């Protein structure tokens, strides 16, 4: 039966608060597209355990934290389906079937796996960690997703999912859909320290849950052009972290700020103040929405349970087709 709407699937590992990098990389797209697409958002708790299996004590807190981040940015639980990965056993079953024809070498060469293994100091990768992109392919394809809004680091995983779909459809029956990546307007946002990527583990992030004062302090400590000591020193916006943020969050004043910086007419303090103001303008409505859920944990729980039930139904349907295609249907 042809679907009347195309499907989106995307999600995150629950490993702490979401930040501005997540917002411009993927969350903004999810909010924008949720009316137009059937949208599924996966909270990838099992994937989080591939690096944190010994530290499971915060898992439940982190799952609820991410639900409140989603609701705060404007994901509407009436139209988007938010669910938990571990509660859909069919995803794990499908992962096993995909792993039958996915080679270890392909996984070893995945650049995101390599970077993360190095980041976590793994010299001997676990089977589960090396294989999580296979599980991610199952996350995506079990919902027959057409589109996956993610940041740049996820591209190798979506590429793998596409390969797996082609292979499966060719080996068995053409039941799966090849997903496409949708990158955000800013696929990678630099951190407050000017390092290449905003990230919780690099300790350079502005979180969506930060209050106005925290934002001011973080922007105040951001790295700028080291050649500028006095306000009158001509600046070099192209190497300044705060300018990089103006390029994303303050297009209206961009030209004026660039010129004033080059001519030594605006100081870093003033420039940072305007930036913090812009970020707080963006976060204010999120703070308001978050407030509504803050003292209603049972509401978050209901949203998650309903979403998980709905996702489970959809996953079961695909698995019937998958098993039939693979002739795993004996009685
Ligand atoms: N790998 C993603 C991350 O690190 C999380 C994720 C799990 C995901 N399954 C997914 C993203 C499916 C998109 C689609 O944030």
Residue nearest to atom 8 of ligand 1 (CA): 11
Ligand 1 within 6 A of CB of 65: no
What pLDDT sits at residue 312? 98
Nearest CA to ligand 1 atom 5: 12
Q: Are 188 and 21 in contact (CB under 8 A)?
A: yes
121-142 pLDDT, tens per residue? 998 999 999 999 999 999 999 9
Q: CB of 9 closer than 6 A to ligand 1?
A: yes
217 CA distance to ligand 1 middle (Å):
30
Q: What are 269-313's pLDDT values in tens digits?
A: 999 999 999 999 999 999 999 998 887 889 999 999 999 999 999
Q: Is the CB of 137 under 6 A from ligand 1?
A: no
71 lines ligand 1 (CB under 6 A): no
Q: Which residues pair with 183 in a beta bridge?
A: 150
Report whether pLDDT(183) > 60: yes
Q: Ligand 1 centroid to 136 CA: how many Å? A: 6
* Residue-range domain boundaries for the chain: 7-189+298-326, 212-289
Ligand 1 pocket: which of 19, 150, 153, 198 to mutate (most atoms within 8 A of CB): 150
* Structure confidence at residue 19 (pLDDT): 96
CA distance 295 to 322: 42
Q: Is the CB–ligand 1 distance for residue 13 below 6 Å?
A: yes
pLDDT at 57: 86
Rounded Cα gap, residues 47 and 62, in angstroms: 13
The CA 31 to ligand 1 mean position distance, Å, reads 17
Distances (CA, A) of 249 to 15, 24, 69, 242, 265: 26, 10, 19, 10, 21
Which atom of ligand 1 is the closest one to the Cα of 151?
15
Q: What is the pTM of this model?
A: 0.93
Domain 7-189+298-326 has CATH 3.40.50.620: yes
Q: Is the pLDDT of residue 268 over 60?
A: yes
Give residue 52's pLDDT.
87
Return the closest-CA partner of residue 208 out of 290, 124, 265: 290
pLDDT tens readout for residues 88-123: 999 999 999 999 999 999 999 999 999 999 988 998
List 180's β-bridge partners, or say none: 147
Work out the mean pLDDT of the chain and round it to a whole number.
Answer: 94
Output the pLDDT for position 292.
87
Q: Using the CB atoms, write b or e for 275-309: b if 16+ within 10 Å.
A: bbebbbebbeebeeebeebeeeeeebeebbeebbe
Q: Is the CB of 136 under 6 A from ligand 1?
A: yes
Most informative mutation of 10, 19, 45 for ligand 1 (most atoms within 8 A of CB): 10
Fold annotation for 212-289: Tyrosyl-Transfer RNA Synthetase (1.10.240)
pLDDT digits (tens, 9 = 90+) for 70-89: 999 999 999 999 999 999 99
Which pLDDT score is estimated for 1?
Answer: 54
Q: Answer yes or no: is the C-beta of 42 below 6 A from any ligand 1 atom.
A: yes
Dump pLDDT digits (tens) for 202-246.
Answer: 889 999 999 999 999 999 999 898 888 888 999 999 999 999 999
């Amino acid at each position: 039966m042809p679907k009347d709407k195309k499907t989106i699937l995307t999600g995150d590992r629950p490993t702490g608060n979401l930040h501005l990098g997540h917002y411009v990389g993927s969350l903004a797209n999810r909010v924008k597209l949720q009316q137009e697409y059937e949208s599924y958002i996966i909270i990838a708790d099992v994937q989080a355990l591939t690096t944190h299996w010994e530290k499971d004590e915060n898992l439940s807190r982190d799952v609820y934290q991410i639900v409140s981040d989603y609701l705060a940015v404007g994901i509407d639980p009436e139209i988007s389906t938010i669910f938990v990965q571990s509660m859909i056993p069919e995803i794990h079953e499908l992962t096993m079937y995909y792993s039958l024809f996915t080679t270890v070498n392909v996984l070893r060469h995945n650049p995101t796996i390599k970077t993360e293994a190095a980041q976590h100091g793994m010299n001997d990768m676990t089977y589960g960690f090396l294989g999580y992109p296979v599980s991610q392919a199952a996350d995506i394809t079990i919902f027959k997703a057409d589109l996956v809004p993610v940041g740049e680091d996820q591209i190798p995983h979506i590429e793998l999912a596409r390969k797996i779909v082609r292979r499966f459809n060719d080996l068995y029956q053409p039941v799966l859909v090849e997903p496409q990546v949708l990158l955000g307007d800013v696929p990678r946002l630099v951190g407050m320290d000017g390092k290449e990527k905003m990230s919780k583990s690099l300790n350079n992030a502005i979180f969506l849950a930060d209050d106005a004062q925290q934002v001011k302090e973080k922007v105040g400590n951001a790295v700028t052009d080291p050649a500028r000591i006095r306000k009158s020193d001509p600046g070099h916006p192209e190497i300044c972290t705060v300018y990089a943020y103006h390029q994303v969050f303050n297009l209206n004043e961009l030209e004026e700020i660039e010129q004033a910086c080059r001519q030594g007419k605006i100081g870093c303090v003033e420039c940072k103040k305007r930036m913090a103001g812009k970020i707080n303008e963006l976060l204010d409505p999120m703070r308001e929405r978050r407030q509504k859920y803050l003292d209603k944990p049972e509401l978050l729980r209901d949203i998650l349970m309903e979403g998980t039930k709905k996702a489970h139904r959809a996953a079961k349907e695909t698995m019937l087709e998958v098993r039939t295609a693979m002739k795993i249907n004996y009685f």
